[in-house]
Structure 1
Amino acid sequence: MLKVTYKGFYHFLIALCLLPLCLGIAGFDCVLAVHAFARPEVDSGIRWPQNQALPTFARAQHLDVALVSNAPQDFILLLQTLQGIVNRQLPQIYVINGVPSEGQYTWLNDIHIPYQVYNDPWQVVNKYIRQVQGMVIFDPNVLDTINVATTFAGIHRGVVVSPELATRLSTAPYNLPLLADFRGRFANGLEANTWQYEHLWPQTTHRMLVGLQPAQSVMVPQNNWQSFRTILQESQPITDGLNRAIYTMDLSHELGGEAVYLRFADAFPQDGWGASVRRISVNADGKNIIQFVTCTQDEEQYIFDHGRSGCDMSGLDPHRFSDGMRYFVYRFVPPAGTRQLVVNAEMWNEFNVSASSVRPLASSDQLIPGSLSLREYAVANQAMVFWLETDNNAADSALFERILSDVQPGTPYLGWFDSEPAGVRLISRHGVYVVASDSFDNMSVFSGLQAPSYPIKPIATPKLGNNIYVTFTMSDGDNVQFNEHHMRYVWDQDPARGSVPINWSISPALLDIAPVMLNYYQRTATKNDLLVAGPSGLGYFNPSLWPQDNLNRFLNVSGRYLRRAGTNIVYAIDVGSTLPAYVAQAYYNQLNLNGLLLNWWNPQSSSTINNRLPISTQLDATSRDGIVAAIHQNAAHWDGKSPLFIAVSLLAWNQAPASDAAYIAQRLGSRYRIVRGDQYFQLMRKANGLPMYN
């Protein structure tokens, strides 16, 4: 008598239904019906208690380290999805892609887990490929299917492959079965994401969301802009829009080619306040031929290269901006025979405008398959992976809203957005916070390595006097990939660290994601290093947009994480320059804070007591000397009869931010006192008659 187990019958049905799918014809819905009937069995070493923000993996016993420098993206995608399947039960695969800023083996050597390095990463694939059930092919013509395939692979213990790798893996010695083939299934990314929301989302975890860009831009060559000549450039570091005007640019010199290309970039890329453009009009021989407002559909037809530029839609004055190394390029085709071409641009801040009649060699809008490190963690946790635009894309945003509406307040969104302001506002309104983590490496390994957490040792608060008290805070600590990479680099390599009091913002979510990393910073801090919670507590969100009826409950959870992380100061980012009273009250009631640092990129610092909570907004400027000038300007009207408090935000992505702090401190003079954040708020409490923090 033939004995058929339920599991065997299930896989028989899957194979029967997937056969026509793999042939690219009808039959897809049959697969969906089986999925709804029975979810594949999952052997997992993951623990995720209800009171824990993110899961804990098993502790690795030995690691096989795959070096993938310069490996093709489709291979990295294969390896990362394999890593997720294998590490779900017991972390065994560790991937090093290139040379991280902190060094290839820095964290690996710190964790004291035995490991073996493989210079040929195919050896790691060969060792573990038998642990998967099969492969899932993405569609190179619709790159969002990389995310759909990732979600499918996480559910069905598969690996995601390109059509080329599928050919290799379907033959000996691999002979991998085909679980699904998404080629030709969808016309565009929205259709693909809608399909996975309707059919795969019910089978995935709803305790986390994962947003990963499925593609990367082609490499723009260094000589891409060599034919461009500078038309107009701001010579001063202006960040407050005081130079806003309509600027007229004559591009007649660029006539004669197939089109005219106009590029907007940042005149001072080190500070991140590049060109901001509101509207464009183009006149040919005195006649208007083109007119549009930026960040609208009318603009899109003229953009040759978005250059990772952003749209600020936060107020009544939406505009496109190109900060740092970002830029954007328009392509204008004037009528034949045009003799004069004039462009009028309403713009401000640190613009650098150039033009050419020669078509650039490449556009960053040209996309190729890409894979980010967090993908393995998403696969291991059977999370749905998607990428939906939040900035000027109504259809994508609507689908994003549907997904957000399905999860409970307090759910983490791991990854990142196309636009930070728009993305954070969107998820905050639904009670979801973001953990910036798309390039965090080997999260499934680090989340299983437990380490004790303890507070930074307190130091004595100086006697309150009629001085100007200044505290420096490093930005971006909510970003756990920053905690893993660049923060470790500057922490270890900046010779000025420890010479000046600095507040280092860091993510309390490291308690779940990488306890050993939080422990490292706690153990190696000098007496001048203080760890504070990065925006805006457990994760990054805009507090005043969070559902008001859930804010106290969520901040209570944040409070538990802050206490375990040993910090009582939060650096928060909100949509306004001041916190609403009910938000300050919630922070005071639930987190028991010493004080709160608010926002960044403000022209000046101000300190208030909001519902018994000391709050200081942070100032910043475009350079070290600019910060010195801004501090002096803040103190210009100080009469010396009472203490003055000034909070300063420092850009943590600089190569030596502690050296920046030391440089600034040396130029402030004897009336200034540089203090740690805990001292700062204790002094502020005493100056305002509040109880000292215990």
Structure 2
Amino acid sequence: PPWLRELLFALRLDGLLKRLALAWMGCKSAEVKLSNRIQTAVEVLPYPTIFGWHTKRDDELTFMLQLSSNGLRLVPSHLAGNFSFHSQVNPLDEFKADPIPEVKLDPQGTYVTFTLSDGDQLMMMNTAELGNWNSPARGSIPFNWETQPLLADLAPALLERFSRTKTANDCLVAGPSGAGYVVPPLAAHFSDYMRATTKTCQKAGINVVTTYVADPPRRVLNQLVKYKGHLLGFLSGYAIVTRAPQELVQGTPVFANEIPQVAHIWDTASQLLSQLEGLLLKVNDKPRFIGVHLFAYRTSIDDVAAFIKKHNTGHLHFVRADEFLLLAQKHLNNSSK
């Protein structure tokens, strides 16, 4: 529960508990013990990185909990083809971040931003984010694309394909949870991870990050913003487990997505968008900010474009992630005066 997590992190007992858990898991399984030994031996260049995916004998969450606790980040490289080629193709130019948008807050507005998941996977980048990038709908609506910023080093020309063909409505965001996949509260060296993320995102021309956990402990939130560098802010939560806080942390917006709940990750597009429609009908406090994290294997940009076409009226605004965070920041700054 959140209160217990906050207590453990405040007392700095999380590191001890992680080490005990890893040792206990290793005692129960020779395979886990060997895996721990391999993972802890990975070199720091500049942050320990593992390429691959989990096996059929475990699952994604178990795998991520283990490698994050062992101080690693993951570059998901299952089904990633031709990267020996991509790694050798030089980009035409340096990556440049989009200009920081000028935003005007509608006091009665409801702001919604959509983010396509799983762009940290090399396979997603190598398949034009499973075809969504090639959709005729792209460019017609504000839309965020999770991206693997480490492509700036691993496959720079592939990343450049996205950066050079994006429209004014396309926003490339890093995550989860930055440069390489980690579960932030469990990351053994999260400050180092954030330093590496900031440096890599700057090189990749990215200024927004999606972070995996919607409601991390306060100590993790403070680390996020302490080492954020040029980053504008953070969208948090692959899915919501308990809470979806939206706040300024030392002046930086860290806003949890409100959709989906963890039990609804596999909902169809119609189910997910019906949930959003219901949420919009219940909006009372204004302005309101709703982040929607789209599971890439269930909901497409075409589904979102059709939804926006039906609902883009009045004080309902669909915006990019950078606009969303800047507007939220403006609103909370105004509220604190």
- Three-state SS of the structure 2 residue aligned to 1:647 is strand
Structure 2 residue 127 is matched with structure 1 residue 485: yes
Partners of 1:455 and 1:567 within 8 A in 2: yes
Report the counterpart of residue 184 of structure 2 in structure 1: 543
- In the alignment of these two chains, the number of paired residues is 294
Please say if 1:665 is aligned against 2:284: no
Give the letter for the 1:687 counterpart: H
| Alignment of structure 1 residues 230-269 onto 2, 5 Å | none
Note the C-alpha offset of 1:499: 1.1
Deviation at 1:457, TM superposition (A): 4.7
**Please, what is the CA RMSD of the aligned residues?**
2.4
CA 1:543–1:601: 2 relative to 1, 3 Å: closer
Match of 1:686 among 297, 310, 330: 330
Runs of 4+ in 1 over 4 A off after TM superposition: 603-606
Given that 1:584 and 1:611 are in contact with CA atoms closer than 8 Å, whether structure 2 keeps it comes out as no
Matched with 1:474 is 116
User: Alpha-carbon deviation of 1:555?
Assistant: 1.1
How many Å separate the matches in 2 of 1:584 and 1:437? 28
What TM-score, normalized to structure 2?
0.80
In 2, the alpha carbon distance for the partners of 1:455 and 1:613 equals: 19
When Rg is computed on C-alpha atoms for both structures, the one with the higher figure is 1
**Secondary structure, aligned partner of 1:449:** coil
Shift of residue 601, structure 1, vs aligned partner: 3.2
Q: Tell me the residue number matched to 2:18.
A: none
Does structure 1 residue 444 correspond to structure 2 residue 78?
A: no
Change (3 A) 1:464 1:408: farther
Which residue among 184, 190, 215 is the counterpart of 1:578?
215
Q: Paired residue for 2:73, among 428, 433, 444?
A: 433
Gaps spanning 5+ residues in structure 1: where?
A: 1-389
Aligned to 2:196: 557
| 2-structure distance, mates of 1:623, 1:458 | 34
Instruction: Tell me how far apart the structure 2 counterparts of residues 664 and 602 of structure 1 sit (CA, whole Å).
Output: 22
Deviation at 1:637, TM superposition (A): 4.5
The answer to whether 1:521 aligns with 2:162 is yes
In the other structure, the counterpart of 2:49 is 412
Q: 2:268 & 2:294 partners in 1: Cα distance?
A: 10
Q: CA deviation at 1:572?
A: 1.4
1:635: how far off? 4.0
Aligned-residue identity in percent? 27
Q: Offset of 1:665 from its aligned partner?
A: 1.7
SS at structure 2 position matched to 1:500? coil
Alpha-carbon distance, 1:599 to partner: 1.9
Match of 1:50 in 2: none
Change (3 A) 1:430 1:408: farther
Q: CA deviation at 1:436?
A: 0.5
Which amino acid in structure 2 is aligned with residue 623 of structure 1? T
Deviation (angstroms), 1:510? 0.3
Classify 1:606/1:674 alpha carbon distance in 2 versus 1 (closer, same or farther; 3 Å). Answer: farther
Q: Write out aligned runs for 1:143-154 (5 A).
A: none
The structure whose residues are more often strand, as a share, is 1
* Residue 598 of structure 1 pairs with residue 239 of structure 2: no
Match of 1:503 in 2: 144
For residues 42-441 of structure 1, the aligned pairs below 5 Å read: 394-408=29-43, 410-418=47-55, 419-441=59-81
**What is the CA-CA distance between 1:464 and the residue it aligns to?**
3.4
Q: What residue ranges of structure 2 are gaps of 5+ in the alignment?
A: 1-24
Give 1:15-30 correspondences, 5 Å limit.
none
* Deviation (angstroms), 1:605: 5.5
- How far did 1:636 drift? 4.7
Q: Deviations over 1:258-308 (max 9, x none)?
A: xxxxxxxxxxxxxxxxxxxxxxxxxxxxxxxxxxxxxxxxxxxxxxxxxxx
**What is the SS of the residue equivalent to 1:615?**
strand
Answer whether contact 1:505 1:534 (CA < 8 A) is retained: yes
TM-score where L is the length of structure 1: 0.40
Pairwise CA distance, 1:395: 2.1
Cα displacement string for residues 609-628 of structure 1 (whole angstroms, at most 9, x for unaligned residues): 23433122221251333233
